[in-house]
Amino acid sequence: MHSVRFTTDLSEIDWQALKAALTADQFDNGRTPEQYELSARNSYLNVFAFDGDEIVGNARILSDGVCNAYVVDVWTRTDHRRRGIAREVMRMLLMSVPGQHVYLATDDAQPVYAACGFRLQPDGMGRVVGKWLDPNSDPGL
């Protein structure tokens, strides 16, 4: 991990390059580069990992600033995994929300998050309001 650099500075991010990196690593959820930027700007904190000029990891945390936070978009490029990148990104995010309950959802990375101190809480639920990534869709309430 010697060559990996971490930043929270959004002005360093090329949103097109982030989208391309996520797509190439099969971690793209359909957002446009502009939507990725908007998501980041509306978050409490973002952490990005760079190897040279390439983005190789990122995550962000949403928080009410008092008691509740949620970690989303945790990604480490496949060829950079098992080098401590996700652990450092998580450390930086968690240091920004002392005293808060932090939640995250994962389908297949429970051991990664358990190593960061998370415990399984299986009673969570979720719902997409309207159509995914379409703010003009009928919410179906």
Tens digits of pLDDT across the chain (141 residues): 458 999 999 999 999 999 999 999 999 989 999 999 999 999 999 999 999 999 999 999 999 999 999 999 999 999 999 999 999 999 999 999 999 999 998 888 888 888 888 898 878 878 778 877 777 777 777
Residues 131 and 109: their CA atoms lie apart, in Å, by: 27
Burial class (CB in 10 A: 0-12, 13-18, 19+), 28: middle
Residues 97 and 18: their CA atoms lie apart, in Å, by: 25
pLDDT at residue 58 in the model: 97
pLDDT at residue 107 in the model: 83
If DSSP codes are grouped into helix, strand and coil, which group holds residue 48? strand
Read off the amino acid at residue 32: T
As assigned by CATH, the class of the 4-114 domain is alpha beta
Residues 110 and 3: their CA atoms lie apart, in Å, by: 27
pLDDT at residue 1 in the model: 46
* Residue 69 contacts residue 100 (beta carbons within 8 Å): yes
The tokens 């360093």 sit on which residue?
A: 12
Please state whether the predicted TM-score (pTM) of the whole model is above 0.85: yes
* Residue 7 contacts residue 57 (beta carbons within 8 Å): no
Burial class (CB in 10 A: 0-12, 13-18, 19+), 41: exposed
Read off the amino acid at residue 12: E
pLDDT at residue 2 in the model: 58
